[in-house]
Each structure stands twice: as C-alpha cells, then as structure tokens.
Structure 1
Amino acid sequence: MEILIMLAILSTVLGGWGGLNQTQMRKVLAYSSIAHMGWTVIIALINPNLMILSLMIYIMTTLTLFMTLNLSSTTKIKSISNLWNKSTPMTMIIFLTLLSLGGLPPLTGFMPKWLILQELIINNNPTMAIVMALSALLSLFFYMRIIYVSSLTMFPTNNNLKHHWFFTQTKTTNMI
C-alpha cells in the first residue's frame, strides 16, 4: 500500500512537471493523463466509489477535449490561436475543457480533486493532500499557459470578415 501511495504521488508530480514545456497537445494530454492516474490511484486505496466518480468525470472531460481537438485538426498549441478565427465556440470549448482538466473552480474538474483532498485529510493524511494539491497547481499552470499563449498569439482579424459560426440573418431575426 505504501508503494502505491508513493507511486501515486510520484505520478502526479511527474505529470505536472513533464507537461510544463510541451508544445504538442498530444504530449500535454499524455502528461495530464499521468498526473490524473496518480489522483485515481491515491483515492482507489481510500474510497473506491469516489475513484469511480473521479474517473468518470475525467473520461468525459478528456473525451470532449479529444473530440474537439480531432474535429479542429489541432495538434500544436500554436494552432489553437488560428482556430479562434474559424470557430470561436470550439476554441472556447477547448479553453474551458482545459481549465476543467486542471481543476480550476468552479468547473467540473475541480469537484473530484476537492473531494479527494477532503478524503485524504479526513483519513489523517494532510501531508499527502498538500503534495497532491501542489502538484495539481503544476498541471493547472501548464493548462493556463496554453490558454494564455493561444490568446496572445491570435492574429488580428478584419471586422468585415464573415465568420462561419455566426447566425445568418433571416427576416425573423431582423424583425427582432
């Protein structure tokens, strides 16, 4: 049991550190999966029901992100900024999903991490909870860096450019 605890903590820390300097979304998501595996292993030892909840939320969130990235053919962080002009809603979905994976409150990914930290403290493991929370900050940092870099490197657009994601005007919308 102690070996699994050490491996879980090591997994969350290495997953957070490994994703810091990545430029490809596949590698970022791979390191994110390593970090989330640590969260899953640590709670599996204490509360298996919470592990299932955490795993289901993680699967739904990553599935949303994978499908959106696949649909937009995004492979690198730099290409997310190009996506803003083509499909702003899709870019916003990517940004919000990344923040949810990082565990930013009040998004969905925060709840399992918060419940896991509470469970660790209830089971008299405050040091482990602190290490897990700090490693989650590493992951949140590289997700926020992706969003920051993507939003700063967006190319300026001409206001006359027709966006494909806008609604077309019909007689009904003109009357409103």
Structure 2
Amino acid sequence: MKPPILIIITSTIISGTIVVMMSTHWLMTWIGFEMNMLAVIPILMKNFTPRSMEAATKYFLAQATASMILMLGIITNLLLTGQWTMLNNQNQIASNMMTIALTMKLGLSPFHFWVPEVTQGVSLSSGMILLTWQKIAPLSVLYQISPSINPNLLAIAAIASILVGGWGGLNQTQLRKILAYSSIAHMGWMAAVTTYNPDLMTLNLMMYIMMTLSTFMLFMYSSSTTTLSLSHTWNKFPLITSLILMLMMSLGGLPPLSGFIPKWMIIQELTKNDMIIMPTLMAMMALLSLFFYMRLTYATALTLFPTTNNTKMKWQFESTKKMILLSPAIVISTMMLPLTPMMSILN
C-alpha cells in the first residue's frame, strides 16, 4: 500500500474512533463507527490474497449487521424519548438492542465466530490493529451507556465469552487464532465489570492493549505465525524466548506480572457487589486460557527441536524489522503490579 493512501486510511480510522469517544449524540457516534469500519477494511486487505479478502468480507458483514442493530436501537430510543443524547437512555428495549450491537462489534459470545476467522485471514500487523484499536470505540460507548445496561444480559455474554475464549484456544496451533480467542476471553472480563465499575473496564482495556501489542510485536519481529515456527525462536532470538514466556504468563493473569492487576481488581469489585458465584466461575474458566498460554510457553522456552548438525546456532540474516516501542511495551506489560494500590485509589 502506498504511503499517502496508508496515511489517509489510518487518519480515518483514528478520527472515526475519536468521533465515537467524544460524541454524546447518537447519530455522530454511529457515523464514527461507520468511518472506522469502512477505513479498516483496506488495512485488513493490505497483503491481498483470497484469504484476506474473505476475512475482510466476514468482518464487513459482522460489523454492518451490528451497525444496523445499533441504528435500530438508536431509532427506537429516539421514538420513545424524543432525543438523541447518549446520557439519558431510559428505555430498556433500546438499551438491550444497543448492548447486543456493541457485543457483536466487540466479538463477545455468542457473536464471537467472526473474530478468529478474520484474525487468522489477515497479516500480523492488521490482526494487531483488529484486536487492539478496534476495541476502543465499542467499549467507550458501553462505558457511556453503562447505567442503563441490563446487567444480567451483559453478565451472560461475559461468562460465555470467558468460557469460549478459554475453550476455543485449547487445540489451536495458529498464533493469530490463539490471540483472537485470548481477546474474546479478555473482552468477557471487561464486560463483566462494566455495569458495576466502568473505570475498571478502562483499566483492563489499557492493560490488555499493552500486553497484546507487545505479543504481536514479538511475533512480527520473529516472523512467527504458528506454534512450530515459534518453537524455533530459541535458535534465532534467545532473548525473545524468555520475553514471550513472561508475556504469556502476564496474559494469563499470573502474579507478580501486570496481567494479574485487572483480574484481581475485577474479582474484588464483583465480590464487593455481593456476587460470589460469578467471579468464582470466571476465575475457574480463566484457567482454560492459562493452559493454552502455558502450551505456547512450553513450545517456545522449554523444548528444543531436533538438530542434525553440531552447532546450535544456524546461519541467518539479522532481523531488519524495527519495533520502536517494543521495550517500553514489554516493561508495562510485565512489571506494573507494584502500582496496583495507586490504581485502586484512582478507581
């Protein structure tokens, strides 16, 4: 893709998301979603293949359906209340339709089927945008309408997403699909706490974005797309092996790494609201996700593939890929646990 075209498309994606985040008018919010969706499709088809075209088509169909349901909810709200503002959404039917539309856009269960397929069909860089930046706009709208959301509806979607995200990733060997199922599970954790403490959802989103960006950048740096190619990194990039180990454990939510912060605080918040069964189920189902992160760690750091020659280092070219923000992203993704008391005060 030529640089001027890439700049125009990228600026449209960013401006679409900013319009959604800053708007309190439903029509402007919907327009922002459409700008964002139509601009991201060329990014998905950046490396044009039949597979990427299929992925972009699936993404368009899922997002267009969600936009249609969102507009239906907006019009229902307009007819029943006579106003376009987002902050006064009193009607439950309209609120339910909007919630369903936003869960489709996020890829929450039971509308999760497009996420692994689209992520697998595009390049690593496009998948990174899809699983990080594209989550910001729908979650910002969920944040704004959180007082009127039906908590039972979102709780069911959250529990189902954590289960599907853990279960779906168990038997995968493709790294993009594993990260897609990881995204579904993390979105479930965010949805679970949205109606009780939206600020915690924002904290979880920031931590998730940092961890996912770091993971994708490491995979791009080592040109790994499968578990098998990832298992060769000890031979090419020994340092990356240990970094992937730490990042996977952080994504799984193990202390003393950064990924433990949001899970701990969400369980604490749900318990404060007299909910015991739901956080218990969520913590148990998080073990499924932890298992496939452990599989990646095992394949990367704890196994050596058989070699026929005597040397452990094979001849290769040096990697020329520049990952400018990789170092700070890895530090944030793994070492922020001591800041938890400060974050809890802010929340």
Coarse TM-score class (shorter-chain normalised): 0.7 to 0.9
Identity %: 55
More contact order relative to length (CA 8 Å, sep ≥ 6) = 1
Counterpart among 255, 258, 275 of residue 125 in structure 1: 275
Amino acid at match of 1:53: L
**Conservation of the 8 A alpha-carbon contact between 2:245 and 2:301:** no
User: Which consecutive residues of structure 2, in runs of 5 or more, have no partner in the other structure?
Assistant: 1-149, 319-347
Structure 1, residues 101-149: CA drift from partner, whole Å, max 9, x if none? Answer: 0101111101110110011111111100101101111101110012113
Structure whose CA Rg is larger: 2
TM-score calculated relative to the size of structure 1: 0.87
Amino acid at match of 2:240: M
Q: How does 1:34-73 map to 2 (within 5 A)?
A: 34-73=184-223
Query: How many pairs were matched up?
Result: 165
TM-score calculated relative to the size of structure 2: 0.45
Counterpart among 238, 242, 248 of residue 92 in structure 1: 242
- SS of 1:20's equivalent in the other structure is coil
Mapped to 1, the partners of 2:315 and 2:277 lie a distance apart of 51
Q: Return the offset for 1:50.
A: 1.0
Moved more, 106-115 or 86-95: 86-95
Aligned equivalent of 1:111: 261
Amino acid at match of 2:155: I
Q: Return the offset for 1:153.
A: 3.7
Determine whether 1:6 maps to 2:156: yes
Structure 1, residues 36-67: CA drift from partner, whole Å, max 9, x if none? Answer: 00001111111111111111011001000011
Mapped to 2, the partners of 1:132 and 1:114 lie a distance apart of 11
**Conservation of the 8 A alpha-carbon contact between 1:18 and 1:31:** yes
User: Which consecutive residues of structure 1, in runs of 5 or more, have no partner in the other structure?
Assistant: 166-176
Determine whether 1:147 maps to 2:297: yes
Measured on the aligned residues, the alpha-carbon RMSD in Å equals 2.0
**Conservation of the 8 A alpha-carbon contact between 1:8 and 1:39:** yes
Counterpart among 156, 169, 175 of residue 19 in structure 1: 169
